[in-house]
Amino acid sequence: MSQPTIPVAHEDYGSSGRYVVSLPGVSGEAELTWRNGGPGIIVADHTYAPDAMRGTGVAAAMVRRLIADARARGVMIVPACSYVRAQFERHPEWSDLLGDG
C-alpha cells in the first residue's frame, strides 16, 4: 500500500522562502525555510514540524519538494539545516544538487 501524498505549498519571497505543510485536524504547520546563497544557490536553513506532525513524513515530503524544485530551477542546495543534510546523506542520488556551504 502506498503512502498518501502530502500536499506541500511553496512560498517564494524572492531572496528567501519556505515550504509549508498543514494537515486537516492538526494545529500548526510544518515548514522548511530557505534563503538565497548567491547565484544558482539556495541555502536550506531550517526545518520544523510540530509534535503532532512528527513521524508523519511531512518533513521528508518538504525535502522532496525542495529537491524537485531545485532540479526544475537548475539550482544547487546548501543543506545548512541538520535534517536536510541528513536527507542528503540518505539519498546519494541527490549529490548532483549539493552546493558548498
Summarize pLDDT for 55-70 with one digit per residue, the tens: 999 999 999 999 999 9
Burial pattern 17-38, b for ≥16 Cβ within 10 A else e, equals bbbbbebeeeeebbbbbbbebe
**pLDDT recorded at residue 1:** 42
Q: Of 73, 28, 19, 75, whose CA–CA distance to 49 is shortest?
A: 28
**pLDDT recorded at residue 100:** 78
Task: Give the sign of the dihedral formed by CA 17, CA 81, CA 99, CA 57.
Answer: negative
Q: How far apart are CA 57 and CA 55, in angstroms?
A: 6
**pLDDT recorded at residue 5:** 84
H/E element, 68: helix 58-73
The stretches in the chain having pLDDT less than 50 are 1-2
